[in-house]
A and B are shown apart, each in its own frame.
Chain A
Amino acid sequence: MIWKNKEVLLGPLSKNNPVIVQILGICSALAVTSKLEPACVMAVSVIAVVALSNVIISLLRNTIPNSIRIIVQLVVVASLVIIVDQLLKAFAYEVSKQLSVFVGLIITNCIVMGRLEAYALSHNPWDSFLDGIGNGIGYGIILVIVAFFRELLGSGTLFGYHVIPQVFYQWGYENNGLMILPPMALITVACIIWVHRSRNKELQEK
């Protein structure tokens, strides 16, 4: 039993990662990764929404009629996202400005809907909770890795603090402005996929 739970929680971190293996939730992920701080906030918000919506749907799973389940799921997710949105506006206004519409877009994040459909509808609340946390963290890890490289190479900072010594700039090092632009998020993810798949050969496509 404990082994099974561990698999549910830790599987999505690498072998079954929602972003780089199942290719879900790219939509709202990449646009927030030009700095580390919004990326972390986004990751935490998604973890909360996935875990809670998984629990709620799993509790309701025997009462929801099959034909209207999508709309029920959307309503549950949308209500949770509204709560997250209002909380962010109240306690982290600056970051919520930076995230702009992407908090609202958690509703249409494929990870949330995907986990509800694939897992929460057929498992008990505790397992669904672990599954939600696992997938949320799997998503968050990728977000943070991408944001780390983009912020470090693009503006030479981490969480807004300068980490590249001034001496480097005198020697002729320059920040790579291209890393801040949207297309580089895609290429960074591609590099992560490359590394990940060369280490896990069974994931490679024919």
Chain B
Amino acid sequence: MENLNLFIRSIFIDNMIFAYFLGMCSYLAVSKTVKTSLGLGVAVTFVLAITVPVNYLLENYVLKPGALSWLGEGFADVDLSFLSLILFIAVVASIVQLVEMVVEKYSPSLYASLGIFLPLIAVNCAILGGSLFMQQRNFDTVWTATVYGLGSGIGWLLAIVGIAAIREKLAYSNVPAPLRGIGITFIITGLMGIAFMSFLGIKL
């Protein structure tokens, strides 16, 4: 039950894009067609659902003060938490590399349409952000962390597919010249964010 609550919360209320603005760069750049953005969304969800639990294990068994105590008495007061940023980003980068190879093998067309943005998932703020929020919130078990990663990913997916669908329709409307392209996308994202705020306060 706790996990379901967290899942719903991380999709709708703590949405990566609307509440924390994480992953905005690829969100703005790739959201021109629904198909591509769906592909990127799935890739991000997948990477988040793997990296958050992996980093959770790393955090709890290597980095935290006293986390190394399973190695023996002498390690009980080792504190490596200052290394967390660099280790997290290394994990993210290697898993992204893995996903890239899988996508290239099984779906060359998706690989071609994602182009440069697939390797750039490594520097997608949503991925590292997921791990950092996980670290900050001190989840109890690795399952909770997995649920959180998956939920955040799905929230991101929803947001990017939504904006892509709106932008496809937007091509037919008459937007003031200075706002065309990126300006109007910002405004729509803001409005979508306000709409998503109506989920605030939901408790399961």
* Residues of chain A whose beta carbon lies under 8 Å from any beta carbon of chain B: 23-31, 70-71, 74-75, 78-79, 81-82, 85-86, 100-101, 104-105, 107-110, 113, 181-187, 189-190, 193-198, 204-206
Contacts and interface: CB of A to CB of B under 8 A. Distances in A.
B82 A82 contact: yes
Nearest to A110: B25
Contacts of B85: 78, 81-82, 85, 104, 107
Interface residues of B, number: 47
A110 B123 contact: yes
B187 A190 contact: yes
A81 B85 CA distance: 8
A113 B119 CA distance: 13
Contacts of A79: 86
B178 A197 contact: yes
Interface of B: 18-25, 28-29, 82-83, 85-86, 89-90, 93, 119, 122-129, 132-133, 136, 176-184, 186-187, 189-194, 197
A101 B136 CA distance: 8
A116 to B, nearest CB: 11
A interface majority secondary structure: helix
Contacts of A182: 18-21, 193
30 contacts: A24-B25, A25-B25, A27-B129, A28-B125, A30-B24, A31-B20, A71-B90, A74-B123, A78-B89, A105-B129, A105-B132, A107-B85, A108-B129, A110-B123, A181-B194, A182-B21, A183-B190, A183-B191, A184-B190, A186-B21, A186-B190, A187-B186, A189-B186, A190-B184, A193-B182, A194-B179, A197-B179, A197-B183, A198-B178, A204-B178
